[in-house]
Amino acid sequence: MGHSNYAIDEQQTKIKQWFFKETVRIEHEKQLLEDEKVKVDREKRELNNFKREYERQKALNESQLEREKRLFETKWKILENELREVANEKQKLEREKAFYKEVIAFEQKSDIDAGIFFKGVNSSISLKKRYKELMKIFHPDNVNGDTDTIQLINREYDSLRQAYGV
């Protein structure tokens, strides 16, 4: 019987050793799981912080994009208005150009009305007086001087001088 008690004691010791080792292993696994949980919780907080920062940055970017869009639309409207004004100015200049072409064509006719610069002149004395006044104004050496105008004046003067017999 002594031998069988010894065998039972040995089995109980082996069971206790196995139980102790298993308890140590389980405690070790438990500690590893707790460490892993702490790590996951930390990563979760970091991820939430990153998410909040991302959403804040996204909202900021959307707000900036909206401001830039409004600014672009405002600039676009200004450009459209300016383009319309430029087109109107171009049309106006084209009309003025056509008008001045007609004026120049009228002035360049060989049959010039001998009274454009000398209206109201009815004698050779008043003709000479008006001629001197026009020369003072339109002589090319003056600020308002113009060679083409002087030529027109001279043509009219010559035709009127012949008409008055001077």
Q: Are residues 18 and 97 in the same domain?
A: yes
The encoded tokens of residue 92 equal: 């106006």
Residue 99 sits in the same domain as residue 88: yes
* pLDDT score of 108: 53
What are the pLDDT digits (tens) for 2-32? 567 788 888 999 999 999 999 999 999 999 9
pLDDT of residue 3: 65
> Domain check: are 104 and 25 in the same one?
yes
Task: Please tell me whether residues 62 and 115 are part of one structural domain.
Answer: no
Domain boundary among 108, 124, 146: 108
Same domain, yes or no: 131 and 94: no
Domain containing 127 equals 111-166
Domain end: 86, 108, 130, which one? 108
- Decide which of 81, 108, 135 is a domain's last residue: 108
Verify that 5 and 63 share a domain, yes or no: yes
Q: Does residue 163 sit in the same domain as residue 86?
A: no
pLDDT of residue 165: 77
pTM over the 0.85 mark: no
Name all contacts of 122-127 with Cβ < 8 Å and 24+ positions apart: 123/164, 124/161, 124/164, 124/165, 124/166, 127/157, 127/160, 127/161, 127/164, 127/166
Sequence-separated (6 or more) residues with CB below 8 Å from residue 87: none
Query: Are 82 and 31 found together in one domain?
Result: yes
Residues 94 and 128 in one domain: no
pLDDT digits (tens, 9 = 90+) for 54-94: 999 999 999 999 999 999 999 999 999 999 999 999 999 89
Do 12 and 80 belong to one domain?
A: yes
Question: pLDDT digits over 129-138, tens only?
Answer: 999 998 888 8
* Same domain assignment for residues 49 and 118: no
Q: 62 with 142, same domain?
A: no
Tell me the pLDDT band of 142, cut-offs 50, 70 and 90.
Answer: confident
Domain count, the chain: 2
Cβ 123 vs Cβ 159: under 8 Å: no
Tell me 111's DSSP state.
S
